[in-house]
Amino acid sequence: MLRSRHDAITERLYTAHLVSDAPTAVPLHPKGADSVPSLCSSDCADVITNDGGVPRHEDPVITETERIKAVLLKDQEKSEATLLELLRQLQQLELTVDTLTVKE
């Protein structure tokens, strides 16, 4: 159940900008998001919410991943060649599960 809920949330996040006349979103939790306890420790939350413009980690893999993500988010209309190059760079980084978990 948790996996399907996660997949539904992810799908909504990544397809929200594609739908122009989307119906009003239905809350996923009856009492709202504030009533759901956090699964992150305070240390983890600090890493996730750090938006000071400084790389969150000294790890070059995470730094490069964040750079590629920023490029993709900055301009949604990338050429196919640019997208393929960014994907190739991501593939070469050999991302670990820990890296992906921090990025979620």
Q: Does 75 score more than 80 pLDDT?
A: no
The model scores a pTM over 0.75: no
At residue 89, the pLDDT reads 83
Scanning 1-104, the segments in alpha helix (DSSP H) are 2-15, 42-49, 60-74, 80-92, 97-103
- What per-residue confidence (pLDDT) applies to 87? 81
More confident of the two residues 34 and 14 = 14
Q: How confident is the model at residue 19 (pLDDT cuts 50, 70, 90)?
A: very low
Residues 99 and 66: their CA atoms lie apart, in Å, by 11
The answer to which of 5-9, 18-22, 28-32 has the lowest mean pLDDT is: 18-22
**Cα three-residue angle 89-91-18, rounded to 5 degrees:** 80
- CA–CA distance, 91 with 104 (Å, rounded to integer): 18
Check: CB of residue 72 under 8 Å from CB of residue 78: yes
Residues 56/47, Cβ–Cβ less than 8 Å? yes
pLDDT of residue 34 exceeding 80, the answer is no
